[in-house]
Amino acid sequence: MELLHQFSSGLFIIQSIIFLILLFVLGKFAWKPILKSIDERETSIIDALNQAKLAKQEMAQLKEDNERILREARAERDGILKEAREMKDKIVNQAKDSAKVEGEKLIEAARQSIQTEKNAAMADIKTQIGTLSVNIAENILREKLNNDGAHNALVENILNKSNLN
Query: Residue 103 domain-assigned?
Result: yes
Angle at 36 between CA 33 and CA 41, to 5 degrees: 125
What is the arithmetic mean of pLDDT over 118-126?
90
Query: Residue 76 domain-assigned?
Result: yes
Lowest average pLDDT, out of 48-52, 100-104, 146-150, goes to: 146-150
Query: Residue 45 domain-assigned?
Result: yes
Report the distance separating Cα 133 and Cα 144, nearest Å. Answer: 16
Query: What confidence score (pLDDT) does residue 165 get?
Result: 53
DSSP letter (8 states) at residue 69: H
Number of domains in the chain: 1
Report the distance separating Cα 66 and Cα 53, nearest Å. Answer: 20
Rg, Å, the chain Cα set: 65
Which structural domain range is residue 58 located in? 40-123
Query: What percent of the chain stands above pLDDT 90?
Result: 56
16 contacts 8 by C-beta, under 8 angstroms = no
Pick the more confident residue, 80 or 143.
80
Query: Residue 82 domain-assigned?
Result: yes
Query: What confidence score (pLDDT) does residue 145 get?
Result: 67
Tell me if the pTM is above 0.85.
Answer: no
DSSP letter (8 states) at residue 29: I
97 contacts 105 by C-beta, under 8 angstroms = no
Query: What confidence score (pLDDT) does residue 1 get?
Result: 45
Query: Residue 75 domain-assigned?
Result: yes
Using left for φ > 0, alpha for ψ between -120 and 50, and beta otherwise, residue 7 falls in beta
Give the end-to-end CA distance of the chain in Å, rounded to a whole number. Answer: 187
Query: Residue 60 domain-assigned?
Result: yes
The 10s digit of each residue's pLDDT in 52-69 is: 999 999 999 999 999 999
The top-scoring range by mean pLDDT among 32-36, 98-102, 143-147 is 98-102
Pick the more confident residue, 3 or 69.
69
The 10s digit of each residue's pLDDT in 33-59 is: 888 889 999 999 999 999 999 999 999
Report the distance separating Cα 35 and Cα 155, nearest Å. Answer: 161
